[in-house]
Chains A and B, each alone.
Chain A
Amino acid sequence: MISNFPYIAVIVFISLGIYTLIFNKNLIKIAIGICLIENGANLFLITLGYKKGAVAPIYTMAPAGQSMVLPTPQALTLTSIVIGLATTALILSVAMMIYKHYGTLDTDEVRRLRG
């Protein structure tokens, strides 16, 4: 049961993120919502590679006979974190541009494009 906790945390992260995206009207908070979904996805990947009592997957350093955790999900998570950084930086800079031109971060007022 206790091993399922990370998965519950994943669900909590992703649903909080989607809640933020749908119900918040502030552009910065929308960016935070995306970060929450991203953390959920990363936590999901890293949990998949977890093995109880295993050591870090460094072949030359591991004691003989000891099992190692799976390195692939860790590599995937690392890649996805780096990509997430780029996404967050870009989304915040675009939000900054919007604030410069509209003078607000409220999505109800940032609505010149419609129809």
Chain B
Amino acid sequence: MNILPHLPILIIALPLLGAFILPLLNRINKKVPGIFSVLILGASLFFTILVAIKVMTVGPQVYVFGAQSTGFTLPSGLKFPIRIIFEIDAMSIFMGLITAMVSFLGAVYSLTFIQKEEGLDKYYALLLLLTVGMFGMELTGDIFNFFVFLEIASIASVALISFQALYKGEPAEAGFKYMVVSSISALIVLFAVGIFYGQYDVLNLAALARLIKYSQLDKIALGLMVPVLAMKAGAVPMHMWTPDAYSEAPAPITMILVAASQASLYALFRVTFTLYNIQLNTLTVGWVIIIFGLLSMFIGVTMAIIQKDIKRLMAYHAISQTGYMLLGVGVGLAVLADPVALQKYGITAMEGGIFHIMNHAMYKGLLFLTAGALFYRTGTRDLNHMGGLAHSMKYTTIFFIIGAAAIAGLPPFNGFASKLLIYESVYRFNPILSIIAMVVSILTLASFVKVFHSAFLGPKLPRYKEVKEVPTSMVFAMAVLSGIIIFFGLFPDVIIKNLVHPAAMSLIEQVKYSATILGGM
């Protein structure tokens, strides 16, 4: 049997199968589940890279479930697809690469970070399920299927956020908040799916994109979906769950949760660009997204400055950085109907926003991992109780500096590359937006200088005399992320040309997305 056409499904099938085998393997030895899930996620990462190479060289890939052949999208005589289809274009696989990388490193980091906890088989099984949910949201071309994977991802992440609820109340509290938020958003998405199905009798995104008429009902569906997906992505003013969930989850899970929020962000872009595209009143919806972005950037960073809990502080920065992505892509959406402006700065703004998604996943992941490393050795997340840790945790200090410089947008790290793209292009759209973005960046730097000063600098504290560097698996995960950050910062043009530009174009060119499945241009 030729395995190559089945690669897209293997990305998801392996972790899904692994999640259910794990509890059995736990019977052999307590250490097996961790190593097993690292292997599975490593294989998944490898398959994602293979699919990515194929998407970049050949074009969008489709995988039809249960058909005679994997590319058989239209059953004989029908004009619309009836099976569940995975449609993987440049944007999907761009998000898929982030998910694969982050979940693999999260599992490697967990090997030692979570070692002392009980019920590790459940932890790793849930981690694999969360990965499945995120991959599914990103790769699927079916709108109901998207709802199912959204629910898988939220259920797994709630269980992981409240993983330590056995000893403490706070994780349970954060988990409850996240559960309420994500079930409401999933149910509203389901309601919107019902609206689409009632009108057009199809669930396939490509077929819907071709049929959609922007009737009154479609406007209602859009009005339902944009806020709930922005809520799942953690945009202000629906951000109240983010700091709680991010700060209470174990550090590697927080890193994966960042990528899970970005999967919702991806869905928001998919709905506005692929489903509606220029039928939309692009200027209005674009400005709605821009305003979400501005509020997130500004309120996120101002709330971050006053925090004392290191992970809570970083969680507020995650909100603030989500604002940059919304700003960049929102500007692209606002000028979508105007080909001249789109060519002049719209595409660049979208490239900046999309590139920032990947950069954010990398440096924010790294920062959360360093916070986890500090917690692992000191047992506290309170910045007032830390100090002088640079003496004993040299690697962690270096990784923290790299992450903090990247988030503040200093060259030569990756945050600089994407932020510069956003500043330049947004300035030509509206100078004030660009100035606000720069001010937020400066405030971000200020806040991380504070963290660096209070956690790492100063004399060695007597109560941290025994502290040493974190174990190898944690250092390895942080080192890989740092390497990626520096590589992206030094050679941004390679990434933009090969990954980001095709992703932006695949969002803009709605016709191509439909044609991949339905044929004809």
Contact = CB atoms under 8 A, between A and B. Distances in A.
B490 interface: no
A111 B174 CA distance: 10
Bin chain A's interface residue count: 20 to 34
Interface stretch (B29-37, B190-198, B455-463): B190-198
Contacts of A21: 180, 184
B162 A87 contact: no
Contact of B173 (A37, A79, A110): A110
B187 A41 contact: yes
A65 interface: no
Given A27-B176, A110-B173, A91 B190 contact: no
Contact of A80 (B159, B162, B165, B190): B190
B176, B198, B248, B306: residue with the most chain A Cβ atoms closer than 10 Å: B176
Nearest to B203: A72
B interface SS class:
helix
B77 interface: no
Contacts of B184: 21, 34, 37
The interface residues of chain A, by DSSP majority, are classed as: helix
B248 A37 contact: no
B227 to A, nearest CB: 13
B244 interface: yes
Interface string B153-172: 00100110010011011101
A95 B176 contact: yes
Contacts of B191: 14, 40-41, 44
A9 interface: no
A52 interface: no
A48 B183 contact: no
B159 A112 contact: no
A53 to B, nearest CB: 20
Contacts of B148: 79, 83
A72 B203 CA distance: 10
A90 B158 contact: yes
B198 A48 contact: yes
Interface of A: 14, 21, 27, 30, 34, 37-38, 40-41, 44-45, 48, 72-73, 76, 79-80, 83, 86-87, 90-91, 94-95, 97-98, 100-102, 110-113, 115
Interface of B: 144, 147-148, 151, 155, 158-159, 162, 165-166, 168-170, 172-176, 179-180, 183-184, 186-187, 190-191, 193-194, 197-198, 203, 243-244, 247-248, 306-307, 312
Ranked 9 nearest A-B pairs via Cβ: A101-B169, A97-B172, A97-B165, A48-B198, A113-B244, A83-B151, A98-B172, A41-B190, A94-B176
